[in-house]
Structure 1
């Protein structure tokens, strides 16, 4: 019997952990699949881990990995993919904003041969400002990046084992999963659903976190911001040359005049601002390089009930079994 692995990152979701389990359990009981539910406790400060352990005592299919601190959702997704043993993996949030009722349609897409079945939500219920910023982000990143991101397509998706192995082969520390899902390619099917408001708990994404996440997304898949800085530098240098030539001609024709304050301060502010922006863009790339070359692990496990030997880059069950037979 094939196995479906559910990966559920959770950070301070003590109220939602039992509810999402009940919803998933209700659905899988009506499917011809075995299952495992892997909770990734991302350094929660409430009783999330205790609630997960209570579920594990009731159902042996429940597994958990608890980080030593909060490492972020990207690290949680990576940890879940590393330890998932299923033939297919279904990524879901623990806050019940990803409807478990879509699981059947997603698994049907997997059975039809798709390597990625993506649940795309609309933007109903969001403020006009939030929708505007989101739309601007997607237009910006799609123009600048080498991958095409769809507005509304997030982490709620089903991945085949081939897709999971492809994602695990990408071991960079600065992970932007939305871009990685598109970068690996493979056949994909989209399923659309209406936005679901959070019922319990509070969102963990502040504006500053979303902005940082957006910047990581822009920088992770292209070097165009660096090229833009080069173009702007050339443009201002050309404009400055024209200005100097015009001023020199004016001196020859009209003689030397006292330079105006406005011209001076404008040049200083524009050129100074351009230099600071360029240095900031370069600094972001250098920061990413700095984080990568340190080669620190994506996360540290505090406690878990999964086999830590499975934490490898490529998980291929058949090869593991062959190795075990040879060693015996």
Structure 2
């Protein structure tokens, strides 16, 4: 069996040497043919130079350099496009996912599973991130049209069959863990404790986290559209009741003329206006994805490759 390790990196110069040392040690212990694919996602630090030096020392290292930053999920996609191993592992470069547990994942793959994904038991991150991630995964699990396991990230091992299946999907707004679940086949999760980042700072800012969340929700659920329909129907129902109430107050009571109605009118206008903007925003998210697909631009552009 040949092993492929995909490592998307973005401004990770502090971690690269330790990352390679630990991953390479694990793979050498397996005594099988292997490749380590670094996908440099448009880094601005010395990541590119360090990867070139590592390749000179070990020809099992392969490097893909993007022309600019295309995003983590796109970097993983590129790694899957070029991975040739029978077992393909995806890890983050910050060493929060310990490579030392990879042999357990490979062993499960040998039992006939097509996907072995990691389930995070504990996160050693700040409370804001822990709460945000927990809330996101629970919401996604609840509304997604496929069963996406709770607390499972991109850290996983895939069979070459699954890799080819995911590579056949043409969509551009990629959410790998969702595509992995949508594809089906025999899958199993293994629990592990997620470590702290070894060095440097997280490259997933608030904007990127929101994009990842939106890609997950809008790519694998129609619930937002259904919520929009329910809210619109409720608003219509309440407005019909309001019409009958106004007719009754006008013609059958004397209280109507004593109430100016300015506050009620303002509240109704703000409610309906907010509901319309909210609905337009949801439709815009789906439409934006359709627009991305119609343009048919490549998912990424490669500046250079090393070792292929």
- Compute the TM-score of the two structures, normalised by the length of structure 2: 0.96
- 1:182 aligned residue: 181
CA distance in 2 between partners of 1:131 and 1:94 (Å) = 20
> Does structure 2 conserve the Cα–Cα contact (< 8 Å) formed by 1:67 and 1:299?
yes
- 2:279 aligned residue: 278
CA distance in 2 between partners of 1:136 and 1:93 (Å) = 22
Unpaired stretches in structure 2, ≥5 consecutive residues: none
SS at match of 2:123: coil
1:196-235 pair list within 5 angstroms: 196-235=195-234
- 1:260 aligned residue: 261
Unpaired stretches in structure 1, ≥5 consecutive residues: 308-328
CA distance in 2 between partners of 1:106 and 1:116 (Å) = 9
- Compute the TM-score of the two structures, normalised by the length of structure 1: 0.90
CA distance in 2 between partners of 1:244 and 1:123 (Å) = 54
CA distance in 1 between partners of 2:233 and 2:62 (Å) = 56
Deviations 1:255-306 (A, max 9, x none): 4414322201110110010000000001111111111100100110011125
Alpha-carbon shift at residue 186 of structure 1 (Å): 1.2
SS at match of 2:7: strand
CA distance in 2 between partners of 1:284 and 1:277 (Å) = 11
CA RMSD of aligned residues (A): 1.3
Alpha-carbon shift at residue 131 of structure 1 (Å): 2.6
CA distance in 1 between partners of 2:260 and 2:281 (Å) = 32
CA distance in 2 between partners of 1:102 and 1:123 (Å) = 15
SS at match of 2:29: coil
Which stretch shifts more, 281-290 or 249-258?
Answer: 249-258
Alpha-carbon shift at residue 212 of structure 1 (Å): 2.0
- 1:269 aligned residue: 270
SS at match of 2:194: coil
- 1:173 aligned residue: 172
CA distance in 1 between partners of 2:136 and 2:84 (Å) = 35
